[in-house]
Chains A and B, each alone.
Chain A
Amino acid sequence: MQKRAIDVVVRTFEWFNAVMANPDHVISRAEVEQQFTEDAQMITNGQLKCAGIDAHLKHFQELQTKLKSFRIRLPVEVSISTDNEAAAYYQVDYVSTDGSGGIIHDNAIWRIRDRKFALMVETVSFEGREITLENHS
């Protein structure tokens, strides 16, 4: 039976929560390839943040460098899903390396292909100091 798109989203969130829970974890390209399609794009607040596997790898490495902790609250607060598309509203708890922390309010829509993220379009709002991240492509 085919998994719904939201199941893929939750699987990827669980993977990244586990990565961020272990400060010694070195993210490999192969791990990212398991979660994202070759042409995967992530668009945040109207900006293309990542395009492709290498860009996503750099994005996750950047999060590891800039944050002491990062945990997506699961289960997500609201979600809907078809086979290939999902949408969710959820929060993320984070602490930066300088000790400042907060909550990210995130609303996102995904297109899923081959049980991987092909597109993630999100708007985020920070309660606390904003984490500034590079655009990778």
Chain B
Amino acid sequence: MSRDLETGNVTLLKRTYEWANRLMSGAGHRVTREDVEGFFAPDAVMMTNDKSKCTGIDAHVKHFEEIQKKTRSVVFHPFEIIVAQGDRVGVYFKIDVRYLDGRDAKIYVAGFFLIRDQRIANFTEVAHFEGAELKLDNH
């Protein structure tokens, strides 16, 4: 039962990042509230480097719109390491960013997801920037 839950949670995260990659491909995909509700719990929280970046659906919509606005493209690479136990999943992955002015950056991310009812309820990450930092607002 627990193994099924963990497999389902990892599958949800993979689908979420596939969606995020489509959004950030530079092809002009629009962020919809409906899509965000499909992946995030109503009270979802995202913490980056000990700062609260997003709380709730509207905040996550704004977060993804802000990334689209500030970049030419973003590529979330597949998780290199995954550890799952119960409702939590720990991951390590890299992100490539190309800014509007053509500069590139790489982000190294290790973080924890808390999944509730097949939605992301919390994401707590530590992110390290190589190159220019992608500075994002707190929503």
Residues of A within 8 A of B (CB): 45-46, 78, 80-82, 85-89, 105-109, 121-125, 127
Contacts and interface: CB of A to CB of B under 8 A. Distances in A.
Contact of B112 (A45, A78, A105, A122): A78
Contacts of A80: 83-86, 88-90, 112
A101 B40 CA distance: 37
A32 to B, nearest CB: 23
A87 B108 CA distance: 16
Nearest to B48: A125
User: For chain B, which range describes its interface: under 10, 10 to 19, 20 to 34, or 35 or more residues?
Assistant: 20 to 34
B66 interface: no
A73 to B, nearest CB: 13
Interface string B89-106: 110101000000000001
A67 B130 CA distance: 25
B126 A87 contact: no
B90 A123 contact: no
B90 A121 contact: no
Contacts of B108: 45-46, 123
A129 to B, nearest CB: 15
B83 A109 contact: yes
B84 A125 contact: no
Contacts of B127: 123, 125
Helix, strand, loop or mixed for chain A's interface? strand
Given A107-B112, A123-B110, A86 B128 contact: no
Given A78-B124, A105-B50, A109-B92, 13 more contacts: A45-B130, A46-B106, A46-B130, A80-B89, A80-B112, A86-B83, A87-B110, A107-B111, A109-B81, A121-B110, A122-B126, A123-B110, A125-B126
Contacts of B110: 87, 107-109, 121-123
Nearest to B124: A89
A88 B110 CA distance: 10
List the 10 shortest-distance A-B pairs measured between CB atoms, nearest first: A87-B90, A80-B85, A107-B110, A45-B128, A107-B126, A125-B49, A123-B110, A123-B126, A46-B108, A87-B83
A1 B47 CA distance: 36
A47 B86 CA distance: 30
A128 B89 CA distance: 29
Contact of B92 (A86, A121, A124): A121
